[in-house]
Structure 1
Amino acid sequence: MTASFDLSGRVAVVTGARRGIGLAMAEALAVAGADIIGVSAQLESDGSEVERRVRAAGRQFSSLRADLGDRAAVHELIRDVRSLGPIDILVNNGGTIARKPAAEHPDDLWNHVIEVNLTSQFVLSRELGGEMVRRGRGKIIFTASLLSFQGGINVPSYTASKSGVAGLTKALANEWAAHGVNVNAIAPGYIATDNTRALQEDRERNQSILVRIPAGRWGQADDIGGATVFLSSQASDYVNGVVLPVDGGWLGR
């Protein structure tokens, strides 16, 4: 059974790999045996934390810098990825959030969040996933959200984008499952990262979140690693179109 989770010989692209959940995903995949192509807008060309962790696991690491909010940069990223050879695993994790009430949410903020969180991920999946379809195998994982299921507060663009990610996951799975390409998503719960720092530091909001989580704690980025390896491995070959919550039981409450 352990061999089903072995990713030796696989190459994974992880967007948003510089920190937080993406960093943990990249490390987990490397520990399972995959070589990593890390992508982030601010990723260092050499000596990054993600590179250090991947190499400590004995795997190869390549660094690519790209702004997912810039469509031309996304297409350049695709060319750079292709130059490194065939990709077995695409982890669409890079994302952004904007906190602004709906009545005050400007067009430019809306457009930027949708571009980063949804459109860029479709373009990456279309181009790199299309190659997987032609080869007859591959794994694509999106980072969805609890707000793929719920509405949230003061984050209309983020909620719309993550609801779109859930729908895109199912749409691509419907088309590509018969071609040996598994498309799924992970929906992290409340994870202690920089993106959630404001919530963690708001005593009242923090407490209201904690009492709703059956596990009784905020998640850590490392909690996402196991699901990432599972959905990247042979163990998930008959798993298609799933949005998997890793949330300490939040949605079951």
Structure 2
Amino acid sequence: MAGGALAVAATATMVAVTLPDRAGAEGPERSTAAGSTRQDAVAPNGTVEDAPAEGAEGIGSDPLTDAETERAEKIALNSTGSLRSSARDVEGDRGPQRLSTNLGENEGDESAADEARRADIIYYDYEKDTVITKTVNLESGKVESTTSSRNVQPPANKEELSEAARLLIADEHGKGLKEDYKKATGKALTGPGDLDLSGFIFRGETRKHVPSDLKECGAHRCVQVVAKVKNGPWIDTRAFAVDLSARRVGRVG
């Protein structure tokens, strides 16, 4: 398949592929690319009621509120120290790439209601291909711990998906994507903003045969993009993977 063949409608495979912005390191979270979401409650009589107003602070194992998330991210960022100058984000700019902010797990034997709430802020340093997790105690306002891991690949966030799509569009492998977009809309594909994007991490060890330009995927951060024309059909781009660490595109099938 030379390019991305237009899909007439969203197939079951595509519908199953979702990638929220605030997905955690090991699995998805109830969120969207625009941030955390809350579903309206359904009353016993079947009518829909508005979700209760979100307070400044949650209780126990409640999801992080917007205020808690903002505060935790500010505390973590202020504690990055040398990372601000030594690390690189997905676009190559200074500072680590923030991937997600999640409610931290409780420690010890205390109940969730009694223990201080914590937030785990997960970053990716593209300079060293390292995942960095900072745990913030929301009660004390301090970073309790910082851990670093290699060869770990949390789900990609919206900034990474956008950069992966931009690299694909600019690459020779993106020719079919651009042609299919033109057929669907009558317009030229100018950038990631023209598409609705989702995707998933690609690891080389999951395939029996991997092209040489994608063999480092797993140690490198690599993404397969799933593209959709806004208010239009899917475009199948699963034959390609983008190595965000090396900033190159390879064919996987």
Q: TM-score when scaled to structure 2?
A: 0.27
Higher radius of gyration, 1 or 2: 2
Answer 1 or 2: which has greater helix percent: 1
Q: TM-score when scaled to structure 1?
A: 0.27
